[in-house]
């Protein structure tokens, strides 16, 4: 049985220029590999060392690497990760399960039914966001895959009290709120990465799950995994969030991708071994 390795992408494995957090002189900075271009410009990066580790992980016979992201399908398809293309990917925070790059429509229909039964409609939430957002700090308002909404904001001007009030309004309506970089997400509570990962475990018979992520929207994924890691930056680190089987890493920025991928590889059973067998796990 293989190990399913479910990893968030942005600020976990791949990083924008603004999120690199390189604290060394330029001459000692790691070499970077661009893995995403948007409107003709480079957008997201890995270190070359992380790229080599990811290619090794993706090709490992004992691992099933599954990118697990809040990105829409269109945003995910812009990313060109090293190694063979992943057989499976989870997009829109679990709303879409891709198999060989194509949407699994049965899974998506099941997600839609769950959201309709348990959550306030998306348009109600978007209307509330538009009413309450201040043009002084609101840059953009968007919806993603007709599943959830997000705002692009100026973090320096966003009042902390507004976030708390929004979370209090959203909770009884079945929605949760997450602030990641400049994006403030409002997401239906049943729309989770862990539910999509559980479906893949059912389909593939994976013997264990390893996971990594940095934001509140990754917490359910990390809790559902057998072993998990979070970087030293991001929403979870800022709140000191952890769990007994979750390793908080000290590294921040793009270097965290290297440490997380090394931990994934160390968490795989040895060649010819079984899941749960001996073997060092970094971190």
pLDDT in tens, 207-236: 999 999 999 999 999 999 999 999 999 999
Same domain, 147 and 37: no
Same domain, 102 and 158: no
Determine the average pLDDT of the residues in 270-279: 50
pLDDT digits (tens, 9 = 90+) for 78-124: 999 999 999 999 999 999 999 999 999 999 999 999 999 999 999 99
Element (H, E) at 118: helix 105-118
Count of domains for the chain? 2
Q: Who contacts 60 (Cβ-Cβ below 8 Å, separation ≥6)? A: 265, 268
Same domain, 32 and 45: yes
Domain boundary among 143, 171, 188: 188
Q: How far apart are CA 51 and CA 254, in angstroms?
A: 11
Residue with tokens 């949760």: 176
Same domain, 137 and 263: no
3-state class (DSSP) for residue 117: helix
**Does the residue 275 lie in any domain?**
no
Mean pLDDT of the chain: 94
pLDDT number for residue 34: 98
Same domain, 19 and 87: yes
Domain boundary among 153, 170, 188: 188
**Does the residue 218 lie in any domain?**
yes
Same domain, 99 and 22: yes
pLDDT number for residue 279: 35
Same domain, 178 and 202: no
Q: How far apart are CA 124 and CA 111, in angstroms?
A: 19
Helix axes 193-204, 105-118, angle to 10 degrees: 140
Same domain, 8 and 28: yes
For residue 59, pLDDT beyond 50: yes
For residue 277, pLDDT beyond 90: no
**Does the residue 181 lie in any domain?**
yes
- Please give the residue range of the domain that contains residue 145: 120-188
**Does the residue 9 lie in any domain?**
yes
Q: How far apart are CA 215 and CA 39, in angstroms?
A: 27
**Does the residue 273 lie in any domain?**
no
For residue 280, pLDDT beyond 60: no
Same domain, 172 and 39: no
**Does the residue 159 lie in any domain?**
yes
**Does the residue 272 lie in any domain?**
no
Q: Find the CATH number of the domain harbouring 222.
A: 3.40.50.1000
pLDDT number for residue 270: 76
Tokens of 182: 């400049």
Determine the average pLDDT of the residues in 30-54: 97
For residue 146, pLDDT beyond 90: yes
Q: Among residues of the chain, what percentage have pLDDT more than 70? A: 95
For residue 283, pLDDT beyond 50: no
pLDDT number for residue 271: 61
Determine the average pLDDT of the residues in 126-132: 96
Torsion sign (Cα): 140, 221, 262, 1: negative
Determine the average pLDDT of the residues in 160-186: 94
Same domain, 103 and 207: yes
pLDDT number for residue 274: 53
Instruction: Work out whether strand 246-248 and strand 32-38 pair parallel, antiparallel, or are unpaired.
Output: unpaired
Same domain, 129 and 92: no
pTM: 0.91
Same domain, 144 and 58: no
Q: Among residues of the chain, what percentage have pLDDT more than 90? A: 91
For residue 238, pLDDT beyond 60: yes
**Does the residue 283 lie in any domain?**
no
Q: Find the CATH number of the domain harbouring 148.
A: 3.30.1360
Domain boundary among 153, 188, 223: 188
């Amino acid at each position: 049985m293989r190990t399913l390795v479910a990893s968030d992408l942005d600020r976990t494995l791949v990083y924008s220029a603004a999120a690199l957090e390189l604290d060394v002189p330029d001459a000692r900075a790691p070499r970077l590999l661009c893995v995403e271009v948007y409107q003709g410009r480079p957008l997201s990066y890995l270190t070359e060392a992380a790229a080599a580790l990811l290619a090794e992980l993706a090709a490992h016979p004992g691992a099933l690497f599954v990118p697990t992201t809040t990105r829409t399908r269109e945003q995910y398809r812009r990313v060109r990760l090293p190694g063979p293309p992943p057989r499976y990917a989870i997009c829109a925070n679990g709303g879409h399960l891709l198999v060989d790059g194509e949407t699994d429509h049965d899974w998506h229909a099941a997600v839609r039914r769950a959201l309709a039964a348990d959550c306030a409609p998306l348009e109600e939430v978007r209307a509330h966001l538009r009413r309450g957002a201040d043009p002084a700090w609101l840059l953009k308002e968007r919806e993603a895959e007709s599943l959830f909404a997000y705002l692009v904001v100026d973090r320096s001007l966003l009042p902390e009290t507004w976030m708390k009030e929004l979370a209090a309004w959203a909770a009884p309506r079945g929605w949760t709120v997450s602030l990641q970089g400049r994006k403030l997400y409002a997401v239906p509570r049943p729309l989770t990465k862990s539910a999509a990962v559980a479906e893949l475990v059912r389909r593939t018979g994976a013997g264990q799950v390893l996971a990594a992520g940095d934001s509140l929207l990754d917490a359910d994924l990390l809790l559902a995994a057998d072993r998990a890691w979070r970087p030293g930056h991001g929403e979870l680190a800022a709140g000191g969030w952890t769990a007994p089987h979750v390793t908080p890493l000290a590294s921040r920025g793009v270097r965290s991708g290297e440490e997380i991928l090394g931990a994934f590889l160390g968490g795989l059973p040895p060649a010819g071994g079984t899941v749960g067998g001996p073997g060092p796990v970094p971190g």
